[in-house]
Structure 1
Amino acid sequence: MSAAAKLLLDGIEDFSKRFTDTSSVRIRFNSILDSYANLNLEPGSAIIILTSNSFEFLQHWIAIVANGLVPVPASPSLKSTRILDLQESLKISGLVGAKINPALYGANHYVEIGTLRFLEFRNTPAAYAPDEALILTSGTSGINTACVHSISSMVNNAAMHNKALGIHSSDTQLLVLPMYYSYAMVAQAIGSMISGCKLIIDGPPFTVERFANLSHQKNITVSAITPTLVREILQSNSCLPEIRVLSVGGDQLKSSDVDAIRTKPFVNELYITYGLTEAGPRVATLAAHSADVEQLNSVGLPLEGIETRIDSPRENEPGELLIKTPTALHRKVGDNVTQPLRADGFLATGDLFTKDKLGVLRFVGRTKDFVFIRGEKVNTKSISQTAERHPAVRFAKTTLTTDGKLSLAVSPREDTSIETSDLSKFLEQRLQRFEMPAEITHASFTEFQK
């Protein structure tokens, strides 16, 4: 067992005192630990954890690691067919989750571990090493793919995050993001383990009212939310209890939204963060509360120990961000994967950035955001942002149809409606002809939360 894994195992009794969730049930950790040992699985066997945010989730994750096995957190909403696809693609040896039906997986029995059920996928040899963990990637990286990290690098990245945001033992952190996300698992959960702070585990789903109530009741000093949740807070015009540190993933947050949220009386320190699962995940941070207005469209500077480079044929033009970090993944696994680590040790992010003379990074888009329409290079993210400048448009998303045309989906602001003809005229005044969407469709707000 690595020193990092032993650190987490030795701290479990302390975590049980500092961490709380919405459940009234507390399972003895040793019973979970022993149950995994009794499975007699081969070291390096991967186990999908299929349950919602809870302290028991973390108990299972640590117990799996402590037994030389490999945890794979996944969304509890995954269908059995998708899980079977993951099992085949990632060579998964077992599955643990709530109310699992063995018949859906070709099994006839299960083992109870805590409040969850475990079933084994037989004849699946171990494909990984002890002290490794898998984090599933988003659909943009491939549906059945994952990043393989060491426990040591995850703990290291969490420590880098704590230092960048000034999180310490006197804080109380609220976790509302899904723990199968790399940010929630590494920066928040593991970060809380090693910082000594209290951790309140909640959600999803997220509501502004619940976030406000928990922040008040639990005296929350630190939390992290997504750009979508920021827009919900701004849209609701709510006044939340004061939070010392609020962090937001910054690559999809407009500078006007950053400026709006940082001036709210309930935000003391606002940090805009950038990261990706392959990197561990945290890469860069902007202290937005003290930044000049000109920097609010950036993600700030790399964390200490991370080197960045822009892969661009011409100076001062956007290019793919390359990073060299001590917390990079070991490798990517799954269907048709391309390894992002280059021979020179730099990680290819797939994200387009600029970098100024001070080293400040500005997100331009993802390489997938650029498509060719009639021979012209088009930034679909830019089209969406232009549409969102229309007074009736709350959210917009531009995609490429199967026949190679641009399609714009829009969602209206509260108590307004969007006239397609009016929006088309608005776009025609601001976009070039080849950038104009061939179709405009209306979508519900929930479609933009997916």
Structure 2
Amino acid sequence: MTSPDVVDLEGAEELLDRLRSVRHQESTEPPRPLEALCAELAELPLRPGSVVLVALSNGLPLLRFFFACQLTGYVPVLMAPSTPAPRVGETAARLGAAAVVGSRAKAGPGQPAALRIEGVNVVLRTGHPLQLHRPGQAILLTSGTSGMATGCLHEIPALLRNARRHADSVGLTAEDRVLITLPMYYSFALVAQLLGCYVTGATPVVSGPPFNAAEYVDVIGREGITHSSLTPTLVSALLESGCALPDGLRTLTVGGQGLAPERTGELLSRHPGLGVYLTYGLTQAGPRVSTLAAHREPPHRHGSVGLPMDGVRISLRDVGRGPGEQEVLVHSDTVFVRRVGTPHARAAHELLDGSVLATGDLGRVDEDGYLYLTGRLSDFVEVRGEKVSLASLRSVATSLPEVVAATAAYHADEDLLALGLHVRGTSEDIDEAGLRRRLFSLLSPHERPGRLTFHQADEDALRK
């Protein structure tokens, strides 16, 4: 199958026909043609290029709305279905979304009542500034790596090119059955896995999240899975569970953050013959950048993220950290078009020109061209395997009227976020319980601080 330049109706319909969802009961009745959903969406009072936010769980409904929105000429953006309602509203406002699709989506004050399309709520947003892009584009949220409500605008053809390059780098073919356990609002699952199936003709099998090691292994065996992907956190959970991967699994890719070399060695020693690929990428890059075929490399290379994919080049620039810690630049025709959602925020990932991305990652390249990552330029941290922006935590905290300033820190020894709020009024006036409740309603579970302290703001702080 040749790699398509665009997603068309026939190709999307064929992919959805191949898809199997193992977490949700599948209807005995075949779904109506995707063209019917496109026609219904086209009747909505939305202009071409309108942003449509889709907050649904992994499964067929999510993908039907994703493809139908795109084929109708809208610009889809996927979001976690568990996102707190205030955050959904803030994200929709920042992205200038014209509609929100979700099982729990509700109309706000002054908005029309939710419509029901294929059993899902569709809320039209009125009375708010709307943003228009071009048909044939999509927005990928950055999963915390660039702050809250931040997205990257991508061209669909570029995402398809990135998916094809990923497929080539890990040997994905039409004969594979691909298990997608990662949430598809993550760019890797959407592009590398789902669109990887689209460009190769592979069969997607959707399960989760959440992740359970025993269930994961059972699904691989029961569904005849040959290709799957996990994050390093999930690899550790799998290894610690003692569950062995079935022999039918041919390929496992690992990405999201670095996998410790000793974990890579343990994974390989427990599963001889398994193809293990360590991957590196960023949502801003489209997302995939480089691949290490760990099963073909000596152990001393297991700390690397490998070689750039075909069509991608890596260079380094000095940032005052020394020759071993230069910033990684990615040269590719799949980098994002522009950032959306936080136009005034300092960018953690800078687009130097139309095809060069400054990643914010520090690294070095050895004499054979293998990339090794050594750190980050920004203050983004990983808490229990999830990326959290300390700058965004401070921003959300200070959005509360009483909060004058906020301090955020990560304590690695406790794997704990600590947030300090500097609040107007006397110490007796501070409503700690109320502030905690309102703050937590704006944060996703992994962003909520394990330690929250309250301080009386001084007069100088009030002049922020």
TM-score bracket for this pair, using the shorter chain length:
0.7 to 0.9
For the Cα contact (< 8 Å) 1:6–1:66, is it kept in 2? Answer: no
For the Cα contact (< 8 Å) 2:363–2:373, is it kept in 1? Answer: yes
1:328 is the counterpart of 2:335: yes
- What is the CA–CA distance in structure 2 between the aligned matches of 1:155 and 1:235, rounded to whole Å? 36
Where does residue 17 of structure 1 map in the other structure? 17
Letter in 2 for 1:325: S
Where does residue 389 of structure 1 map in the other structure? none
Where does residue 368 of structure 2 map in the other structure? 358
- What is the CA–CA distance in structure 1 between the aligned matches of 2:370 and 2:226, rounded to whole Å? 27
Where does residue 128 of structure 1 map in the other structure? 133
Shift, 1:27, TM fit: 2.9
For the Cα contact (< 8 Å) 1:47–1:70, is it kept in 2? Answer: yes
For the Cα contact (< 8 Å) 1:251–1:299, is it kept in 2? Answer: no
Shift, 1:43, TM fit: 0.5
Where does residue 412 of structure 2 map in the other structure? 408
Q: 2:293 aligns with which of 274, 284, 287?
A: 287
Higher relative contact order (CA 8 A, sep 6+): 2
- What is the CA–CA distance in structure 2 between the aligned matches of 1:144 and 1:194, rounded to whole Å? 29
Where does residue 173 of structure 1 map in the other structure? 178
For the Cα contact (< 8 Å) 2:197–2:204, is it kept in 1? Answer: yes
Shift, 1:101, TM fit: 2.5
For structure 1, list consecutive stretches of 5 or more residues without a partner in the other structure. Answer: 371-379, 385-393, 412-445
Q: Out of 4-13 and 151-160, give the one that drifted further.
A: 4-13
Shift, 1:398, TM fit: 12
Report the 3-state secondary structure (helix = DSSP H, G, I; strand = E; otherwise coil) of the residue aligned with 2:276.
strand
Q: 1:301 to 1:78 in 2, by over 3 A?
A: same
Q: 1:62 aligns with which of 61, 64, 67?
A: 67
Aligned length: 393
Letter in 2 for 1:117: N
Q: 1:266 to 1:117 in 2, by over 3 A?
A: farther
Shift, 1:264, TM fit: 1.8
- What is the CA–CA distance in structure 2 between the aligned matches of 1:352 and 1:179, rounded to whole Å? 27
Q: 1:315 to 1:410 in 2, by over 3 A?
A: closer
CA shift digits 1:202-257 (9 cap, x unpaired) = 10001001101100101100000001000001111211212101000163311111
Report the 3-state secondary structure (helix = DSSP H, G, I; strand = E; otherwise coil) of the residue aligned with 2:54.
strand
- What is the CA–CA distance in structure 1 between the aligned matches of 2:339 and 2:356, rounded to whole Å? 15
Q: 1:68 to 1:311 in 2, by over 3 A?
A: same
Q: Out of 400-409 and 297-306, give the one that drifted further.
A: 400-409
Shift, 1:129, TM fit: 1.0
Q: How does 1:20-419 map to 2 (within 5 A)?
A: 20-21=20-21, 22-25=24-27, 26-28=30-32, 29-102=34-107, 104=108, 106-123=110-127, 124-242=129-247, 243-249=249-255, 251-265=257-271, 268-312=274-318, 316-335=323-342, 336-337=344-345, 338=347, 340-343=350-353, 345-368=355-378, 407-410=411-414
Report the 3-state secondary structure (helix = DSSP H, G, I; strand = E; otherwise coil) of the residue aligned with 2:83.
coil
- What is the CA–CA distance in structure 2 between the aligned matches of 1:84 and 1:403, rounded to whole Å? 25
Shift, 1:406, TM fit: 7.0
For the Cα contact (< 8 Å) 2:144–2:387, is it kept in 1? Answer: no
For structure 2, list consecutive stretches of 5 or more residues without a partner in the other structure. Answer: 395-405, 416-444, 450-464
- What is the CA–CA distance in structure 2 between the aligned matches of 1:396 and 1:187, rounded to whole Å? 19
Letter in 2 for 1:109: A
- What is the CA–CA distance in structure 1 between the aligned matches of 2:151 and 2:55, rounded to whole Å? 15
- What is the CA–CA distance in structure 1 between the aligned matches of 2:246 and 2:448, rounded to whole Å? 24
Report the 3-state secondary structure (helix = DSSP H, G, I; strand = E; otherwise coil) of the residue aligned with 1:44.
coil
CA shift digits 1:15-48 (9 cap, x unpaired) = 2331111332353123311110111310010000
Q: 1:448 to 1:252 in 2, by over 3 A?
A: farther
- What is the CA–CA distance in structure 2 between the aligned matches of 1:399 and 1:44, rounded to whole Å? 29
Letter in 1 for 2:15: F
Report the 3-state secondary structure (helix = DSSP H, G, I; strand = E; otherwise coil) of the residue aligned with 2:47.
coil
Percent sequence identity is 32
Report the 3-state secondary structure (helix = DSSP H, G, I; strand = E; otherwise coil) of the residue aligned with 2:351.
coil
Q: 1:397 to 1:34 in 2, by over 3 A?
A: closer
- What is the CA–CA distance in structure 2 between the aligned matches of 1:398 and 1:49, rounded to whole Å? 22
Letter in 2 for 1:160: R
Q: 1:105 to 1:164 in 2, by over 3 A?
A: farther
Q: 1:327 to 1:345 in 2, by over 3 A?
A: closer
Report the 3-state secondary structure (helix = DSSP H, G, I; strand = E; otherwise coil) of the residue aligned with 2:45.
coil
Letter in 2 for 1:17: D
Shift, 1:59, TM fit: 1.1
Shift, 1:138, TM fit: 2.7
TM-score, normalised by the number of residues in structure 1: 0.81
TM-score, normalised by the number of residues in structure 2: 0.78
